[in-house]
Amino acid sequence: MAGLADSGSNPDVDLLYDINGLAKAAPPWFDRVMEYVGEYGLLLAMVLLVLGCWWTVRRRGAEDAASSVAALVWAPLAAGIAVLVNVPIRGFVERPRPFLDHQGLEVLVSGKTDYSFVSDHATITMAMAVALFVANRRFGLVGIGLGLLEGFCRVYMGVHYPTDVVGGFALGTAVALLLSPVAMALLTPVTRAVERSPRAGWLIRARTRGHVGRDTVIPGTRREASGGSEERDLAA
């Protein structure tokens, strides 16, 4: 794979120079913004997006809330698994960072000494986005948009080839989709158990006013502790 980057006539390298060339033409403050966004900002945005979807799901309180929250729990787990899968892939391909083989690149982040293929950032964001899409299409589409932007930023910053990003997208998507049935089968019973818990049930479904449950005290009645029975105070 490293040999694919040896020729400047390679479309992968040409696109690298075209996108990274935008960093040379941009003002320094914009490059600093892109550096932060591409390195940290979009990852944080993905986490906040998942949390926002969770908040929406629990407030809606639908019957499928437990399965929806299970799918949201799967999003960060899928990203973590995808990164672990990438470890042997990087070691096998051993593709150097583009700035090591090509001159004239505007590198916005220094200290990148590991291999380039595939991009961890692209893998993480796309794995979370696809898993989020399984849980909620509206939030998932936003997540996929953030993932695509992350891939663009990594090439703009001069730390990845375009094919590194595409490989990350493919890896993240594959892990999120292929392992989703197993993950849902394992996580859904857990979230349903949490939903039934008196103390932790709010994590799955928000408590609504007017809902009468086993622990609800109705005005005009008194619940006695003996034997778990409930008696009315009939004294007049």
How many other C-beta atoms are found inside a 10 Å radius of the C-beta of residue 42? 21
Helix, strand, or coil (residue 231): strand
Q: How far apart are CA 116 and CA 166, in angstroms?
A: 12
CB 163 within 8 A of CB 157: no
pLDDT of residue 229: 42
Give the CA distances from residue 151 to residues 28, 53, 168, 208, 223, in Å, rounded to whole numbers and listed in that order.
Answer: 21, 23, 9, 41, 60
Q: What is the mean pLDDT of each run of 10 residues along the chain (236 residues)?
A: 50 92 90 93 95 89 83 95 95 91 87 89 96 93 96 94 96 96 94 87 71 39 43 38
pLDDT of residue 208: 57
Domain spans in the chain, listed from the N-terminal domain onward: 25-108+117-196
Helix, strand, or coil (residue 7): coil
Q: What's the chain's length in residues?
A: 236
pLDDT of residue 103: 87
pLDDT of residue 207: 65
